[in-house]
Structure 1
Amino acid sequence: MSNFYPELTKEQRSVWLRGLLTVALADNEYSQKEQDLIQDLLKDNHIATLEPITPKEVAAVFGNSPDLAQNFLRTVVMVALVDGDYSDNEHQLIQEFSTALNQESNIMSDLRSQLEGNHGHHTHLLDPIKDWLDHLDIKDSRVARVLCKVIPAQCPFERDVFLFGRKLVHIPAMCQINPLYDQLVGLRFRSLSYLADECGEDISEFC
């Protein structure tokens, strides 16, 4: 388990949510789902606008807290993976976040190379990445709500997965074959549990 940290401050939450937004928009496609997500963020946080954020701005708030920095990076990676299209722009942005936060490691590069390589049944090559993602600790209600909205409640219908602008693989409805599917499902479950058990919130809207 990762180290405990308290509910985020207003500034930390704003930076965190802006980071998720920035990654969601990094592929330059402004889908209806992303538009709805932005509107939900604005409504939940009682603010008029939510602007993308630079790595430098993220580092100014999270740079002195390695635990927060690691958990921030885990959430932006998860958001990038949700739609099955881990684009070059998303990867580059996450790398810039990692560098600015002094959290450079092999995780991001390994994620890119393993997914791009389409290693099929050699899913054990992703074990270090899976372990890193599984250590994401949910300790903020607004972040948890966003993750519950971004990650589907049910396995999506079959679809094509694209990586860096080219088709990687066709995923049928049994998306458990997605090598990181369990990490996404686990993150959504932990977010729901946090909202229900620790915050006492009604989670029926997410079920």
Structure 2
Amino acid sequence: MTSITQSPYTQEQITAWFRGLFTVAWADGHFDPEEQEILAQIAQEDLAPDTDWQALDEPITSEELAAALGKNTTTAENFLRTAVMVALADGVYSATEASVLQQFCKALELNNDVLDALEITLFDDGQKREPSDPALERAQKPGNSPHPHSDVLQPVRHWLDGMDIHDPRVARFICKMIPSQCPFERDVVLFGRKVVHIPPMCKLNPLYEQLVGLRFRALSYLADEVGEDVSPYC
């Protein structure tokens, strides 16, 4: 039986949270309108059914996000952790995604040391941006970046490991976003449609172990504290 848990997040915060995650997910332009519709359907049915997702396909601004989550708060930092997770889900951290995350980080008044460290993995995704875009200047062509498992990423690993799960909606999203084991190169198909092509994440994603650990904590929270059947995620 599912128990009643008190979420520390308001409905407004959850709405802004997921709008922010989808803004990051679509930042590099890899999701067409049909795919966006599918992802919105998943969010509405499985993640936060009480949320109004009519405007989900509208990117949230940094100012809107900060107004909902607060500045320099634990809620804002936990959002940023999940946003980094979304950006790294396909194993490639693009310059476009980095720009969005830096804007969010600045508006939320969070320390950007972790994002700066993560830029060792930056790839030039070929998207058109202003020549003065810092992320574009630091981006590497695929195959030219330093070893992704460099000790430079240790602060990022520690930061991701520090996230606690306190909301079932966030926990369910994490469980769906991160696969249960390192997948082979494959196409993800939902409702009979291809959503995205995912390479072998354990080989390409320098923070795959941290993401798997985060998924385990989300599963444990749903099973132990919420009393939810987690077998669909296993």
TM range (shorter): 0.7 to 0.9
> What is aligned with 2:228?
201
- Paired with 2:23 and 2:201, the residues of 1 have a C-alpha distance of 30
> What is aligned with 2:24?
23
Q: Is the 8 A contact 2:91 2:199 kept in 1?
A: no
> What is aligned with 1:102?
109
Among 181, 186, 201, the alignment partner of 1:154 is: 181
Query: Residues 90 and 177 of structure 1: is their aligned pair in 2 closer, same or farther, counting only changes over 3 Å?
Result: closer
Q: Is the 8 A contact 1:151 1:188 kept in 2?
A: yes
Among 188, 192, 200, the alignment partner of 2:215 is: 188
1:124 aligns with 2:151: yes
| Structure 2 letter corresponding to 1:75 | T
> What is aligned with 1:164?
none
CA displacement at 1:59 relative to structure 2: 0.6
Query: Residues 40 and 189 of structure 1: is their aligned pair in 2 closer, same or farther, counting only changes over 3 Å?
Result: same
Query: Residues 157 and 35 of structure 1: is their aligned pair in 2 closer, same or farther, counting only changes over 3 Å?
Result: farther
Please show how residues 167-186 of structure 1 align to structure 2 within 5 Å.
Answer: 175=202, 178-186=205-213
Unaligned runs of 5+ in 1: 160-170
| Structure 2 letter corresponding to 1:183 | Q
TM-score by length of 2: 0.73
Among 47, 50, 55, the alignment partner of 2:62 is: 55
SS at match of 2:93: coil
1:121-175 CA-to-partner distances (Å, cap 9, x unmatched) read 863221111001111121111111111111112212148xxxxxxxxxxx98582
- Paired with 2:72 and 2:199, the residues of 1 have a C-alpha distance of 40
Q: Radius of gyration: which is bigger?
A: 2
- Paired with 1:65 and 1:141, the residues of 2 have a C-alpha distance of 23
CA RMSD of superposed structures (Å): 2.6
TM-score by length of 1: 0.82
- Paired with 1:124 and 1:138, the residues of 2 have a C-alpha distance of 26
Query: Residues 100 and 156 of structure 1: is their aligned pair in 2 closer, same or farther, counting only changes over 3 Å?
Result: same
Please show how residues 42-81 of structure 1 align to structure 2 within 5 Å.
Answer: 42-43=44-45, 44-46=48-50, 47-49=52-54, 50=56, 51-64=58-71, 66-81=73-88
Q: Is the 8 A contact 1:114 1:126 kept in 2?
A: no
Q: When the two structures are aligned, how many residues end up with a matched partner?
A: 192
Q: Is the 8 A contact 1:156 1:173 kept in 2?
A: yes
Query: Residues 33 and 85 of structure 1: is their aligned pair in 2 closer, same or farther, counting only changes over 3 Å?
Result: farther
Unaligned runs of 5+ in 2: 1-5, 123-139, 187-197
CA displacement at 1:64 relative to structure 2: 3.9
> What is aligned with 1:111?
118
- Paired with 2:149 and 2:9, the residues of 1 have a C-alpha distance of 38
1:36-55 CA-to-partner distances (Å, cap 9, x unmatched) read 33211122424352243111
Among 171, 194, 198, the alignment partner of 1:144 is: 171
1:86 aligns with 2:93: yes
